[in-house]
Amino acid sequence: MKKLLSLWVLAIGLCLGISSVDAATGVPAERFDFGKEPMRYLENSRLRLGVDLSLGGAVTLLEDKKNGNVNMINSHDWGRQIQLSYYSGPVPYIGPKGEEPHKAWAQLGWNPIQAGSVGRIKSRTLSFEKPDAKTIRVRCVPMQWPHINVEGDCIFETIYTLVSENTVQMKARLINQRTDKTQYAGRHQEMPALYTNGPWYKLVTYTGNAPFTDAPTTNIVDKADGKGWPWSYFEATEQWSALVNESNTGVGLYQSEVIPVTGGFAGGDEKKGVGGCKDGQTGYIAPIGTVILDYNIDWTYQTYLIVGSVQEIRRTACKLHGPPSAPSWRFENDRKGFTYRGSANDSGWPIKDTLQITYREEARGVVVSPITCWESATVPILELDAAFSVNSTNADSKVIVQVVPFSGEQISYPLTVQPDGTRKNYEIRLASKPEYKGAMKQILILLPKAEGSVRLYEIKGVLAF
């Protein structure tokens, strides 16, 4: 097995054009030579984006030529910028040579980030490509943020692509190469983290239960409201959030996979509206998906960076989102943001056509969907494609499917399943419950109070005609 792992790591190195890997961490051992100037740029008539190859390809410059042509991105330390940041166990994380984390950050656990560490040690860029005028591709070995000088046992790949006048697609890839094979619980992942300078302090989004109807937006942080720090947690039901200035122009993120967002402004009311790239005050937003990061996971997500007015950012995000749809998850090659509670766990990465979940009697297992948003009137039925195996003939093989509304109590649907491992399509008539009204956001599957397993192939809502 170790030989196969070594060959796999070598193959990664060859793909990167790198001749050797570090035997202890399994990551490439060399560095891309970017010359005296580390900055590389994408530009069109509207925006200019700059990535710093000395910081793993993190975005350190973003300008909107229509609205001031000034850099909006903060680089007070290497934890700012627009960059990739991931979280997993253990907490605290001890480095491969026994390195202890900085006490102020030990609670973060395993936390590789794109730019560098709390000790201002920069990440190591492995490769850079600009295949055309609209695309930049960077790979790096990140640094563990909570440590002074510990590299991440993984590789980051980021592809930036100009997709319209005011929009950049950011495709982020994590390739884990951890020697610790523990399957830690899912953690919030910043998808990505975005930090702005002081003038872009106002945090705007839509948090209502009627997304894509042009309902009024919400100011999470505003001028002289005493808000900003600690960071706020909110559900951006149109899946965009923006940091804007007093003229209501700035930068937004649209994340198609997740609704929860954390963000705010650090520095106090007196610093809202002032400051530059190296100043401490900063605006912050990060869409947060709860994701299990296996020791060998190869996981990709994409987010869009949008510049302009609040109206432009919202209009662009809604166009990217498309028409409203039913909740639908098919587990062909990843977990689709699903996590577990209680005794439930799965077989690990890679995912192939199904989630193979086990559970025990002493702690009821729960399968948890990501937070999403759908209107109950449009989705009267939920279908569950699964194969349940219950090991005890005397066990309770009942499953409970719960639907969570944005307001109100969870709605429970008891489901009698075939416990012999036969694959079957189960139909849950959501509309049969009178309390199933309004906007819904999540699905929970409470597994049998027994020892057993389930192969979960697909969960999908059926649209009303």
pLDDT in tens, 19-51: 456 555 567 768 999 999 999 999 999 999 999
Q: Which of 355, 351, 385 has its CA nearest to residue 368?
A: 355
Arch. (CATH architecture) of 31-321: Distorted Sandwich (2.70)
- Is 2 a residue whose pLDDT tops 50? no
d(CA 429, CA 380): 6
- Torsion angles phi and psi, residue 195, rounded to 5: -120, 130
Is 397 within 8 Å of 388 (Cβ atoms)?
yes
pLDDT of residue 465: 67
Pure H helices in 328-419: none
Distance CA 50, CA 61 (A): 5
Summary mean pLDDT of the chain:
93
137 contacts 159 by C-beta, under 8 angstroms = yes
pLDDT for 30: 83
Q: H/E/C letters for each residue in 4-50?
A: HHHHHHHHHHHHCCCCCECCCCCCECCCCCCCCCCEEEEECCCEEEE
Task: Provide the token pair at 48.
Answer: 């200019």
CB-based burial, 205-227: b 16+ in 10 Å, e otherwise = bbbbbebbeeeebeebbbeeeeb
What pTM does this model have? 0.92
Instruction: Please give the CATH number for the structural domain made up of 328-462.
Output: 2.60.120.430
Locate 143 and state its tokens.
């640094």
Please state the domain extents for the chain: 1-28, 31-321, 328-462
Rg, C-alpha atoms of the chain: 23
Q: Model confidence over 172-207: pLDDT tens digits? A: 999 999 999 999 999 999 999 999 999 999 999 999
CA distances from 159 to 162, 211, 389 (A): 10, 29, 42
Helix (H, G, I), strand (E, B) or coil at 54: helix
- Mean pLDDT within 222-240: 97
